Amino acid sequence: MSHPHYPHLFTPLNLGYCELPNRVLMGSMHTGLEDKSKDFPKLAKYFAERAEGGVGLIVTGGFAPNIVGWLKPFGGMMKFPWEVKKHRLVTDAVHAAGGRICLQILHAGRYGYSPLQVAPSRLKSPINPFTPKALTARGVENQIRSFVNSAVLAREAGYDGVEIMGSEGYLINEFLSPATNLRTDDFGGDAAKRMRFAVEIVRRVREAVGKDFIIIYRLSMIDLVPGANAWDEVVMQAQAIEDAGATIINTGIGWHEARIPTIATSVPRAAFTGITARLKPHVSLPLVTSNRINMPETAEAVLSNGEADMVSMARPFLADSHWIHKAKNGQRDSINTCIACNQACLDHVFEGKNATCLVNPRACRETEIIVKRASSPRRVAVVGAGPAGLSAAVTAAECGHAVTLFEGRDELGGQFNLAMKIPGKEEFLETMRYYRTRLDALNVDVRLNAHVNADDLADFDHVVVATGVAPRVISLDGADHPKVVDYQQVLRGEVEVGKRVAIVGAGGIGFDVSEFLVHEGVSPSLDAALWREEWGVDLNYTDNRGGLKKPNVEPPAREVWLLQRTDGKPGAKLGKTTGWIHRATLKQKRVHMLGGVTYQRVDDAGLHIDVGGESKVLPVDHVVICAGQVSVRSLADDLEAAGKSYSIIGGADVAAELDAKRAIEQGVLTAIAIA
Ligand code: FAD
Ligand code: NAP
Ligand code: SF4
């Protein structure tokens, strides 16, 4: 019988020698746990929890086939027979949980962060300081053999298959593109020669591993870099890969050096699935589509439109290991949705830390963070329903405590309610829906409009203070002028903001408020066609290579000046993988971004500043203060004075460098520790 809500998602897929239970692939995601042998038990538990949660087919993070293919020195590699044993931990754990798992073989090519890297031609990538060596003919043959060797070892290690990473601008993709492959031998030149490397790898891997082994090939559908593959070449590659013996083609979108966001939260859901749909008539093996699919209704729509045979999701399984079971069992609202923030996954990996998840701090730490029933349940009050308080309340209830959650305002969410008003941050709504559902399911006593003090909390055994932050009030001549407002007043719609605005403070919130003020009408993040126009993405490849066209950006709704006192360009401290997107968006909207500013005063003429040794008046209607925040901690002080048992978390604890990642993690860890 077909599933009542998601019939396509839950139709099994027959691969000939095996059947997958549903149409979801857990896509490859580097977590950092792959890089050290000692972390393999953690990796095994991480994957096993996802297999238990119903994922039918998992792909590991990338393993290099040899040293010159390393993503970074001493990164995960599948080269030597002695490496097989540790992988057995992973494959056994996944199989015991009823899942299947493929090893991804990723040769970094010129993206390898090491002087050993190799590429088809000696061309440096714009995102890597190292220049690659051009492979000799023998070198090319050695790389092919290394892929085959890794696949054979993967089979010995118990994997159900391999994924050959042929997209995102890594080595195979570099061979495919005329922009990075200038060779004149049998592996360079016309499209047929450029794809020979990829085809040989697939053909020889199939020869070596036999028939009953999954080979997924990750094909770049749209490179999003100038001069790269044309559409007819992508089709040709797909057909040749099918003929060479692949089982499934998975979709890759954009090279890492592309200046177009492909997975960030501001990218609309399923913005790129149309390109997989274009390939469907040209091949007969199953096609997997990907990028910004995070909820079952989105996946179902893509599948029911016939755009692909499967969907790939990676980060959504960091956020919720039981996504599949919840979707299948009618518990869609209790899915902890990936909000595509990148803050705890990709940003961590780029900073050399292990990945985890902003909305699920247990991700990749399943053996360390264990939520279990408390031996003596307590009466726990949580004060403040921002991200910190919500996560503490839910986790404390999961531990069996009787929890009452007090919130002074008339809605749950704290500062997250402001964050979700920013164009491109609409996904944050999902986190609030998740917490509301969980609070309900766990019978947490939620009291809204309940601004409480220490006296109100006398009956509780323990109080978690999650009272958050308030905007910093700065000393500025004319701060009481009617032009001066703070970001909360603006985002709550308490002021009608004029057409010319100065923003004091260029941290995350200054950038967000700028985006809020320059946009008008529908958010491009909610309209994929509009978003593709703004970023110059052409899924039709009209007269171009790489799928690029001239961006067509709506004019800004206001003239905005974004200011900071620190010298240099604003935005230097924004997230590693998303900061450039915020800067590019504001540049498109012609925001004036100024560093090294001294604020003089505000008066009827506007904001008077000194910058670069010059005095200026910015003739603005409003000055919006986004100068950071201070902790709201008077409740904690009162509880301390009264000798009450309490913990303090989130912004109430430390306001500096606060983000929801810390707030939610602290909520979970504090709740687990309540004894
Ligand atoms: P808060 O969110 O401040 O919540 C505290 C709550 O306590 C409030 O609801 C308040 O009403 C309540 N309260 C206070 N005193 C009492 C009392 N005595 N009784 C009852 N209730 C009380 N973070 C990210 O990680 N990524 C982002 O992309 C991001 N974007 C943002 C964009 C904007 C525009 C803003 C404003 C913030 C953004 N943040 C982002 C920051 C994030 O929202 C905060 O880090 C987070 O909300 C802090 O959580 P908290 O629970 O500590 O405090
Ligand atoms: P912030 O990042 O600390 O930035 C505060 C800004 O105000 C700085 O640009 C600072 O720059 C300026 N400032 C500080 N004191 C000032 C003063 N007395 N007078 C004038 N200017 C002053 O804080 P935020 O922007 O409020 O963000 C708060 C937290 O929310 C951040 O820690 C961030 O992690 C989180 N957040 C994250 C995101 C995200 O996308 N990840 C988005 C929004 C918010 P100068 O000192 O140079 O002037
Ligand atoms: Fe998704 Fe953010 Fe979690 Fe990464 S950290 S998995 S992007 S919610």
pLDDT in tens, 488-526: 999 999 999 999 999 999 999 999 999 999 999 999 999
pLDDT tens per residue across span 268-280: 999 999 999 999 9
- Residue 258: pLDDT band by 50, 70, 90 thresholds? very high
Nearest residue by C-alpha to atom 1 in ligand 3: 338
What spacing in Å lies between the alpha carbon of 203 and ligand 2's midpoint? 53
| pLDDT band (50, 70, 90) for residue 546 | very high
Starting from the CA of residue 361, give the closest ligand: 3
Do the domains 379-470+630-673 and 13-329+343-350 match in fold? Answer: no
- Ligand 3 center to residue 148 CA distance, Å? 33
Q: Would the CB of 345 count as within 6 Å of ligand 3? A: yes
651 ligand 1 Cβ < 6 A: yes
Confidence of residue 71 (pLDDT cuts 50, 70, 90): very high
The residue whose CA is least distant from atom 6 of ligand 3 is 315
Q: What is the DSSP letter of 656?
A: T
Q: What percent of the chain has pLDDT over 90?
A: 98
pLDDT value, residue 79: 97
Element (H, E) at 310: strand 310-313
Cα(147)–Cα(205) distance, integer angstroms: 7
Q: Which ligand is nearest to the CA of 345?
A: 3
Q: What's the chain's length in residues?
A: 675
Q: What six digits make up the tokens of 286?
A: 């199953």
Tally of helices (H runs) and strands (E runs) in the chain:
22, 27
State yes or no: pLDDT of 675 exceeds 90: no
Which residues, 6+ apart, have CB-to-CB distance to 52 below 8 Å? 97, 98, 99, 321, 322
| Mean pLDDT for the stretch of residues 532-548 | 94
d(CA 578, CA 584): 10
Q: How confident is the model at residue 575 (pLDDT cuts 50, 70, 90)?
A: confident
Its sign, for the CA torsion 325, 327, 329, 331, is positive
The residue whose CA has the least distance to atom 3 of ligand 1 is 468
Average per-residue pLDDT for the chain = 97
For ligand 3, atom 8: residue with the closest CA: 338
Among 403, 384, 443, residue whose Cα is nearest residue 671: 403
pLDDT of residue 56: 87
* DSSP secondary structure letters along 539-605: TT-TT-STTB----PPPPSSEEEEE-SSSS-TTTTS-TTTHHHHHHHHHHTT-EEE-SEEEEEEETT
What whole-number distance in Å separates Cα of residue 438 and Cα of residue 442? 6
Rounded CA gap, 405 and 389, in Å?
A: 8
Predicted local distance difference test score (pLDDT) of residue 292: 97
* Mean pLDDT of the region 552-573: 94
423, pLDDT greater than 90: yes
Mean pLDDT of 331-353: 96
pLDDT, tens digit, 9 for 90 and up, residues 53-67: 999 899 999 999 999
Give the model's confidence band at 12: pLDDT under 50 very low, under 70 low, under 90 confident, else very high.
very high
At 580, the amino acid letter reads W
Residue of 420, 509, 594 to test ligand 2 pocket, by largest number of atoms within 8 Å of CB:
509
Q: Is the pLDDT confidence value at 543 over 90?
A: no
| Look-up of token digits 């962060």 | 113
- Report domain extents, the chain: 13-329+343-350, 379-470+630-673, 473-519+554-627
As a CATH number, domain 379-470+630-673 is 3.40.50.720
Nearest ligand, CA 406 = 1
Q: What is the CATH number of domain 13-329+343-350?
A: 3.20.20.70
Q: How far apart are CA 538 and CA 529, in angstroms?
A: 10
CATH class of segment(s) 473-519+554-627: alpha beta
The ligand 3 atom nearest the CA atom of 356:
5
- What is the mean predicted confidence (pLDDT) over 126-145? 97
**What is the Å distance from ligand 2's center to 483 Cα?**
21
Choosing from 111, 170, 541, 646, the catalytic residue is 170
Q: Can 46 be counted among the known catalytic residues?
A: no
Band (pLDDT 50/70/90 cuts) for residue 544 is: confident
What's residue 624's pLDDT? 98
pLDDT at position 576 over 90: no
* 318 pocket-lining for ligand 3 (C-beta < 6 Å): yes
Judge if the beta carbon of residue 510 lies within 6 A of ligand 2: yes
pLDDT at 388: 98
Check residues 18 and 576 and name the one with the higher pLDDT.
18
Helix (H) or strand (E) holding 151: helix 137-156
CA dist 407 and 458 (Å) reads 17
Rounded distance from Cα 496 to ligand 1 centre (Å): 23
How much distance in Å is there from the Cα of 414 to the middle of ligand 1? 4
- Are the beta carbons of 638 and 463 closer than 8 angstroms? no
Confidence of residue 188 (pLDDT cuts 50, 70, 90): very high
